[in-house]
Amino acid sequence: MNDLERVVAVDHPDPHTFLGLHQVGNDLVVRAYRPDATRVRVLPAGVEAKRIHPAGVFEATFEGQSAPFPYQLECHYGDRVFTHHDAYAFLPTLGDLDVHLAGEGRHYKLWERFGAHVGTIDGVSGTSFVVWAPQARRVSVVGDFNGWDGRLHPMRKLSGNGIWELFIPGLDEGAIYKFEVVSPHGERLLKLDPFAFRTELRPATGGVVHRHKRAWTDADYLTKRASVDPLRRPWSIYEVHLGAWMRVPEERGHGAISVGEGHTGRWLTYDELTPKLAAYVKEMGFTHVELMPITEHPYDGSWGYQVTGYFSPTARFGDPEGLKRLIDALHREGIGVILDWVPAHFPRDAHGLRRFDGTAVYEHLDPRQGEHADWGTMVFNYGRPEVRNFLIASALFWLDEYHFDGLRVDAVASMLYLDYSRNDGGWVANQHGGRENLDAIEFLRELNTVVHETHPGAVVIAEESTAWPAVSRPVYTGGLGFTFKWNMGWMHDTLAYFQMDPFFRRYHHQKITFSFLYAWSENFVLPLSHDEVVHMKGSLLRKMPGDEWQRFANLRALYGYMWSHPGKKLLFMGGELATYSEFSESRSLDWHLLEKPLHKGVKDLVAELNAQLSARPELHDNDIEHTGFQWIDANDNEQSVASFLRWDQKHERFLVCVLNATPVVRHGYRIGVPRAGLYREALNTDSIDYGGSGVSTGQQLVAVATAHHGQPASLAITLPPLAAVWLELVPAV
């Protein structure tokens, strides 16, 4: 098959070698493939092109000319006439170095070259497209602009590893497009651009040509972030699902953005969320917001954890610039923003990454390696350099282009273990016969190394649910290199303890003391996340035992214990409202509950806990070191009381923390303290201000020089029921 026949069959790997402007002997010829055109002229010369193939290939000859010249094509379709520059008259927009680095897996800013980019070449404006489809026979750019006809804009294959490129003149921002990919077996696939910067609102699945143009105002914030060790900062993270945090209840299924049947109210846009969320988070004293995945995803019920757009924010809440304005506003208030990022798996949707060119490109071919049966999703092939590059570029993209302060990496355990959630015979061992995913380990180490080197002060947080060692230890010491790790063991033990009837807690005292045996083995975040309040698990309030008063008291005590425990804090939205309902992506939080004193009391308590966390170095600047903690008494299981000290980094300031996990008021309870003198309540979760019974620890809290609990001094206090109390030494005048 010659070049002409291959172009007509739309099966040419490099149509530029035939179409466009070419020297033929002593003449120049312009060839164009315009199916269905009745006539083609080359402008400005006005030379009529001859039809050299009935399918619509035209050729115009310029005799005796050898110097290339700019031209346009005037294409006639009956009475309709269209004039445009020829896509096949331009040199490649991707250089040899880009191709080499992409093939090597070291092009960390791949998004700057791949995908769709509006630009100008030789004075002609248009959009360049680059995509990786290594086994494809042909790739075309299709969209509204060409009637979704894959014959009109086939791309050229630039390299042996399957990078395809095309510049389409005249195509501007806002154009909807996909790639039509022809597999090795001739199957035609319509695929979303893996590097699309913007997408259509579901159920539509096209990419939208987009130009990044935000003028940021957070330079001072980013400079300060880079100058502070994140391990020594206070961290209180508010986890948010943007679609369910707050809605417009009076607009149901209509308005700026429709949410579909079965949903209550419409979503707020990024711009509508900006003033509300920024003001609320600042009021509550949270230091960071963690956004559940806002990368584009087809199914609302996945909450964003089945991603199709690794470079595009979801269109559910508006355009990409709206998300930037939201992050910029939070930064102006000094609030960091974390992105929940999902490199562990991706969905099977036909327009997504699965079998991108008809073969296993991003995933393993063997389902024992390439599929998560439990989730119905595909597993990335971390051993492929191009796939690692794609994912690391995605991570850096969100830090660079959207100024996120870090990433929370979802489902790390599923990446680390080849037999994760697999039966015997359903997985493939590594080269040493083990269950460790060696490729995933190297990917995570590379990811964390690059992020920390290129973005000072940014963090990478692992949701890792096993006892894998050194998750948050540096790569150069053999660790995975994460900044923090979620403490899932603490979460499970703590919730199990607080869900228990107080009468039985004496028999399970170790559930609130055991975590201190490993609290400094990693840099931990203590999470009470969305995972604990979904799938019939009930809200945090519903988990608490007893009558209504006891439920609220238990929840307040839980928060007091959590905020005094070493480790950074994370609370899922609604936890501060003490909601009755568990999380659903289809409705707003129950903001009306704040009209009730008990619910408002919990909200006020969380705000106070956050304020004290930020103001007290003893609660945050040394929580990654064992020297920041000291037991007073870990063994009073009979009374279900735990008491300990929190020390600052200089070991000058300390806070006395006591938890009474029973509804019994304990008078004259003696605890050892480091110094004699006058003490006062710093926090009491049983305070009337928070909806408690108002039992005070005492009027005069005087510690005398009588040793107790291994401390040189001691004092007797009243322990309020189902409460956490903090005491501080009053400075001598």
Count of structural domains, the chain: 4
pLDDT tens digits for range 384-411: 999 999 999 999 999 999 999 999 999 9
pLDDT value of position 320: 96
- 304 with 156, same domain: the answer is no
pLDDT tens digits for range 215-265: 899 999 999 999 999 999 999 999 999 999 999 876 655 334 444 444 577
Residue 316 pLDDT exceeds 90: yes
Domain boundary among 486, 507, 530: 486
Show the tokens assigned to 292.
């559940």
Q: Which helix (H) or strand (E) holds 330?
A: helix 320-332
Residue 414 covered by a domain: yes
- 291 with 404, same domain: the answer is yes
Residue 621 covered by a domain: no
In this predicted structure, which of 255-269, 460-474, 621-635 has the lowest mean pLDDT? 255-269
Confidence of residue 1 (pLDDT cuts 50, 70, 90): low
Alpha-carbon gap, residue 214 to 105, rounded angstroms: 29
- 275 with 378, same domain: the answer is yes
Domain boundary among 68, 89, 110: 89
pLDDT tens digits for range 357-386: 999 999 999 999 999 988 999 999 999 999
For residue 171, what is the domain's CATH number? 2.60.40.10
- 300 with 189, same domain: the answer is no
- Is 227:342 a contact under the CB 8 Å cutoff? no
Residue 584 covered by a domain: no
Residue 721 pLDDT exceeds 60: yes
pLDDT value of position 252: 58
Catalytic residues: 410, 463
pLDDT value of position 160: 84
- 85 with 182, same domain: the answer is no
pLDDT value of position 254: 38
> Cis omega before residue 474 (within 30°)?
no
Residue 554 covered by a domain: no
Q: Which amino acid is at 325?
A: R
- 202 with 282, same domain: the answer is no
| Structural domain that includes position 676 | 627-729
Question: Which whole-number Å values give the CA distances from 290 to 82, 403, 461, 470, 477, in the listed order?
Answer: 49, 13, 11, 24, 29
> Three-state SS for 50?
strand
- 342 with 389, same domain: the answer is yes
Confidence of residue 732 (pLDDT cuts 50, 70, 90): confident
Task: Return the HEC string of 236-291.
Answer: EEEEECHHHHCEECCCCCCCCCCCCCCCCCEECCHHHHHHHHHHHHHHHCCCEEEE
Residue 109 covered by a domain: yes
pLDDT value of position 515: 97
* Residue 359, Ramachandran bin (φ over 0: left; ψ between -120 and 50: alpha; else beta): beta
- 291 with 144, same domain: the answer is no
Residue 355 covered by a domain: yes
* Residue 376, Ramachandran bin (φ over 0: left; ψ between -120 and 50: alpha; else beta): left
pLDDT value of position 250: 67
Q: What would the mean pLDDT of 190-200 be, rounded to a whole number?
A: 98
pLDDT value of position 215: 86
Distance of CA 654 to the CA centre of its chain: 36
Residue 77 covered by a domain: yes
Residue 123 covered by a domain: yes
Show the tokens assigned to 524.
């931990």
pLDDT value of position 259: 47
Alpha-carbon gap, residue 563 to 576, rounded angstroms: 13
Residue 551 pLDDT exceeds 90: yes
List, as own/partner pairs, every contact residues 437-440 make where C-beta atoms lie below 8 angstroms and the sequence separation is at least 24, other chains included: 437/382, 439/381, 439/382, 439/383, 440/382, 440/415, 440/416
Residue 347 pLDDT exceeds 50: yes
Question: Which whole-number Å values give the CA distances from 464 to 57, 416, 495, in the listed order?
Answer: 58, 9, 18
Residue 473 pLDDT exceeds 70: yes
Confidence of residue 698 (pLDDT cuts 50, 70, 90): confident
Residue 5 pLDDT exceeds 50: yes
- Is 683:645 a contact under the CB 8 Å cutoff? no
Helices (H) then strands (E): counts for the chain: 14, 38
- 224 with 203, same domain: the answer is no
Residue 446 pLDDT exceeds 50: yes
Query: What does residue 670 show for φ and ψ, rounded to 5 degrees?
Result: -95, 135
pLDDT value of position 502: 97
- 57 with 199, same domain: the answer is no
Q: What would the mean pLDDT of 513-525 be, rounded to a whole number?
A: 97
With pLDDT > 90 as the criterion, what percentage of the chain qualifies?
93
- 83 with 103, same domain: the answer is no
- Of 414, 403, 387, 419, the C-alpha closest to 102 is 387
Domain boundary among 89, 113, 145: 89
pLDDT value of position 54: 94
- 57 with 108, same domain: the answer is no
Alpha-carbon gap, residue 354 to 364, rounded angstroms: 10
